[in-house]
Structure 1
Amino acid sequence: MLLLIGAFLLLMLIGTPVAVAMAVASLSYLLVYGVAPDIIAAQRMIAGVESFPLIAVPFFILAGNLMNIAGVTGRIYHFALSLVGWMKGGLAQVNIIGSVVFSGMSGTALADAAGIGTIEIKAMKDHGYPVEAAVGVTAASATLGPIFPPSLPFVIYGMMANASIGALFMAGILPGIVMTVLLMLTVYIFARRNGWGSDTPFELRRLMGASLEVAIVLCFPAAIYLLIMAGLSVNVAVLIGLVLLVALDWYFDFHAVMALMTPVLLIGGMTMGWFTPTEAAVAAVIWSLFLGLVRYRTMTFRALAKASFDTIETTASVLFIVTAASIFAWLLTVSQAAQLFSDFMFSLTDNWWTFLILVNILLLIIGAFLDTIAAISILVPILMPVAARYGIDPVHLGLIITLNLMIGLLTPPVGMVLFVLSRISKLSVERTTMAILPWMIPLFVALLLITFIPALTLWLPTQLGLIR
């Protein structure tokens, strides 16, 4: 175990890519100790990506890329501006609401930061906000992407932990709302302290227009239910509802009704059994193509080709990490690392609160050095057996792991969101890091609430019958 982990850490320290470091460390362990034939390494690596849930990975990545090139991000921004732009710290509040909406389509923090974050940072700078404030609130709000459904990290975690991906998606809704409220409260405090005012005048007409869009989306499921009660089949009722919705949107040219419908359609489709959580990724792509090619007509075939190639590149890097991590995690299991860790934790404490505190500290440290997918792939096989002994639900553990690793995306030395925002804002990595630090406070408060109030995570999936 010391050779395996030691070789991995040494390779990481000298700048080797994480996937290569895991693969080389694993092969070195196999060659030195001969715990299995060489062919086993190839078989385990292939088995790591030969999984139905992983089909969702390229489709969620593609859906986020398509939404970015279809002009949906601009519409989301204008919708959020109408809804909360009149508040204190208006554009900072817009930043958060825009991220909430976009998180229902992309499923990744990186897509959120690179997509709608680009628009939001420019707008805040143009309205006189310090660039550090723009970067900080954008970084913090980007963490909402993988918490609200759909979520790419939840897909990877569900595969590794053998947990229900649908339950994980539902479990993220209440924590996501709590995070949104905490971030908006933080913006209000900063606005009062720094004298930030509103960025658009309060206009009842604009606010009512944005509220109407939200009401239309929220009323859609109720309208479908009434059509079904009137004797129509589910499929016919939904088809009629969608046709009416598209007609209304086309006539009134709403800012974001169709974008707001994305999470409603995905969650509704999974709840009604039309598709699995994995297949929901395909539904997200189809909806993105409809918006870009048919409804808004902003997507060119050249842009579509670029989005496809970007998706291929990103997917290849993600699956390479999963492939290398699968053999690495298997060897950790074979070397009894999970059992040793479990025994060590029980020698320290038999209290689940203390265990979760230690897990949070461990994850925050690892999240600063490891890619999210790699961290999930390596840590889940080790933490799951220990968490089971403490009676911690796998879905609850999934939320804790994901939020910790999202915070890791904002911290050096390998925080990808940190580097993306540094490039967008043209700030040095050091200044970007300092700009993000104050916005860590609401994220840590949310992490404590999610960690020590399991009902916050488990209530909704329990009510829906997804977990017992």
Structure 2
Amino acid sequence: MLIWFLPVFLIFLTIGLPVFFGLLAAPGILLWMNGQEKDITLLYRNLYNGMDSFPLMAIPFFMLAGELMNRGGITIRLVEFSQALMGHLRGGLAQVNILSSILFAGLSGSAVADTSALGSMLIPAMEKQGYTRKFAAAVTAASSVIGPIIPPSGIMIIYAYVMGESVAALFLAGIVPGIMVGVGLMVMVRLTADRYNLPPAKRVVLTGINLGPLEYWFSFVLVRLNIGLLLAQFVPLGAEATSTAKWLAYLGGILVTHGLMLGLRRVVNHDFRMVCKRAVVPLQTPVLILGGILAGVFTPTEAAAVAVAYALIVAFGVLRTMSFKDLPDVLIRAGITSAVVLLLVGAAMAFKTVVSLSHAPEILAEFILSLSENPLVLLFLINLLLFIVGMFLDAGPAIIILGPILGPIFIDLGVDPIHFAIIMSVNLTVGLATPPMGLVLFVAAAVSREKVETIAKAILPFLAVEIAVIFLITYIPAISMTVPRLTGFAN
């Protein structure tokens, strides 16, 4: 009888019961009807145990870092930087929207935060330039799904927590797929430029921008430190090189970078340089997070806390765009968002208890393997299943419920666990923008004041691109596995 927990849960969703209560009520009712009242206590105890986890502490920290960056005016700087790079293309502001989502993904890791922060800024701006409101909202919603794919990613932290995988490996595996989604959306904007009569190309670089002394020198040092470190990696020192040799290579990289920057100063427009300099400080956030994790300096959870500390230093000390009176509102917003996510995770972990009691994984595994013995066919079918699930269920709970069921099946078939994690994460993330129940569609509708139905029609070409990327990721493992393998985080 317990095998009916999923249909009962879907019935609760269709009648409008919040996901959190549906995740608890469906298995609770079935346990009671099955005469397993003792297991109901286990179910609700696991609600707390599901949230009581050190790795999950990364989620509220990343949420807080994103809120601080957004309130501190960081988002505006990323948009200005994107405009300077992409504004000269046909449909430039739509391209800016997508590039801003790629850059913002490295700060928040949340599709909803992306839609809300960038949408409230770019949708009105696009409308003023002649874009239709439904097209602007559709581009914003479609590009916002990049947020949970490019690190840091909340859903990948959840997957790693549930399935016991490396957070760093999942973060690295998401970089190329996220960029592919962004590039694909940019190509689609260009292809549909004539159909939607998008505005002509126009070079957009803000003029008259000046940086304060502290921000100027902060950006000056960060550029040279980052590029210098990158150049030092190409120096053939050998495995037995001393620390002195490594530091000399790094110093040499910094000096070479400084020479390159002085050369660029003579050939690059002053206003363009200022816009780029203003983007250096916010773009240091993903560098700090990934660099620290890869170097083994701190864990992903500690990296999230470091991101918050960096955001506070930037907002209060370097840019001085926030005051202490802004802090309570930022903390409240981050707290509410984090509470929603963690409650869903806790409820989904409790839901997972009934999944194990019902023997659903074994039954579903037998059913899936009976359909075909060809892993390629099974991957196609599982993509269809995940896509449908993503239409109705948020990515976090879906991963916790389906990950332990589907993951072992495909790992036994020879699919790398990191590869399957990316297939599942990207698929469910795209579901956030998929009609009829995609969450970011409703957020985009609220921000743009456009009907969900009209946004859903306008987003279809962009969804086609994202589905194509999903199948490329599925059947070409190297897309997601190359970076983790090169860095030693995957076999």
**Which residue number corresponds to residue 52 of structure 2?**
50
**What pairs up with 1:444-455 in 2 under 5 angstroms?**
444-455=467-478
Cα-to-partner distance string for 1:297-348 (whole Å, 9 max, x where unaligned): 1112232211111111122221211111112112111211000000011111
**Which residue number corresponds to residue 283 of structure 1?**
306
The answer as to 2:329 corresponding to 1:310 is no
**Which residue number corresponds to residue 480 of structure 2?**
457
Paired amino acid for 2:306: A
**Which residue number corresponds to residue 184 of structure 1?**
186
Paired amino acid for 2:387: L
For the residue of structure 2 that corresponds to 1:106, the secondary structure is coil
Paired amino acid for 1:73: T
Contact preservation (8 Å) 2:229, 2:250: no
Distance in 1, matches of 2:132 and 2:39, equals 58
The answer as to 2:21 corresponding to 1:20 is yes
Paired amino acid for 1:334: L
**Which residue number corresponds to residue 352 of structure 1?**
375
Contact preservation (8 Å) 2:223, 2:280: no
**Which residue number corresponds to residue 320 of structure 1?**
343
Cα-to-partner distance string for 1:61-103 (whole Å, 9 max, x where unaligned): 1111111111011111111111110111111111111111110
Paired amino acid for 1:89: G
The answer as to 2:380 corresponding to 1:378 is no
For the residue of structure 1 that corresponds to 2:392, the secondary structure is coil
Contact preservation (8 Å) 2:116, 2:444: yes
**Which residue number corresponds to residue 241 of structure 1?**
none
Higher mean C-alpha displacement, 24-33 vs 121-130: 24-33
Correspondence for 1:123 among 122, 125, 135: 125
Distance in 1, matches of 2:193 and 2:11, equals 45
Distance in 2, matches of 1:306 and 1:270, equals 30
**Which residue number corresponds to residue 151 of structure 1?**
153
Paired amino acid for 1:88: R
**What pairs up with 1:217-366 in 2 under 5 angstroms?**
219-222=227-230, 232=247, 254-366=277-389
Going from structure 1 to structure 2, the CA distance change for 1:199 and 1:334 (only over 3 Å counts) comes to same
Contact preservation (8 Å) 2:146, 2:181: yes
Distance in 2, matches of 1:147 and 1:339, equals 30
Distance in 1, matches of 2:184 and 2:334, equals 33
Paired amino acid for 2:299: T
Contact preservation (8 Å) 1:99, 1:112: yes
**Which residue number corresponds to residue 216 of structure 2?**
none
**Which residue number corresponds to residue 103 of structure 2?**
101
Q: 1:230: Cα distance to partner? A: 5.5
Distance in 1, matches of 2:16 and 2:360, equals 25
Higher mean C-alpha displacement, 297-306 vs 87-96: 297-306
Going from structure 1 to structure 2, the CA distance change for 1:205 and 1:332 (only over 3 Å counts) comes to same
Paired amino acid for 2:335: I
Contact preservation (8 Å) 2:118, 2:140: no
Going from structure 1 to structure 2, the CA distance change for 1:23 and 1:220 (only over 3 Å counts) comes to farther
Distance in 1, matches of 2:225 and 2:96, equals 19
| Structure 1 segments unaligned to the other structure (5+ residues) | 207-211, 238-247
Distance in 2, matches of 1:63 and 1:5, equals 35
Higher mean C-alpha displacement, 266-275 vs 217-226: 217-226
Going from structure 1 to structure 2, the CA distance change for 1:24 and 1:204 (only over 3 Å counts) comes to closer
Distance in 1, matches of 2:225 and 2:91, equals 27
For the residue of structure 1 that corresponds to 2:96, the secondary structure is helix
Cα-to-partner distance string for 1:424-451 (whole Å, 9 max, x where unaligned): 1111111121121221121111111111
What TM-score, normalized to structure 1? 0.90
Distance in 1, matches of 2:76 and 2:151, equals 21
Going from structure 1 to structure 2, the CA distance change for 1:12 and 1:203 (only over 3 Å counts) comes to closer
Cα-to-partner distance string for 1:127-153 (whole Å, 9 max, x where unaligned): 111112211211111111111111011
**Which residue number corresponds to residue 402 of structure 1?**
425
Percent identity of paired positions between Structure 1 and Structure 2: 38
Distance in 2, matches of 1:153 and 1:142, equals 14
Distance in 2, matches of 1:293 and 1:224, equals 32
For the residue of structure 1 that corresponds to 2:373, the secondary structure is coil
Q: 1:294: Cα distance to partner? A: 1.2
Note the aligned Cα RMSD (angstroms). Answer: 3.0
Cα-to-partner distance string for 1:259-280 (whole Å, 9 max, x where unaligned): 1111111111111111112222
The answer as to 2:30 corresponding to 1:7 is no
Correspondence for 2:93 among 81, 84, 91: 91
Distance in 1, matches of 2:19 and 2:204, equals 50
Higher mean C-alpha displacement, 195-204 vs 327-336: 195-204
Paired amino acid for 1:317: V
Going from structure 1 to structure 2, the CA distance change for 1:235 and 1:293 (only over 3 Å counts) comes to farther
The answer as to 2:463 corresponding to 1:440 is yes
Contact preservation (8 Å) 1:109, 1:142: yes
Paired amino acid for 1:56: A
Contact preservation (8 Å) 1:26, 1:328: yes
Paired amino acid for 1:219: I
Distance in 2, matches of 1:395 and 1:42, equals 31
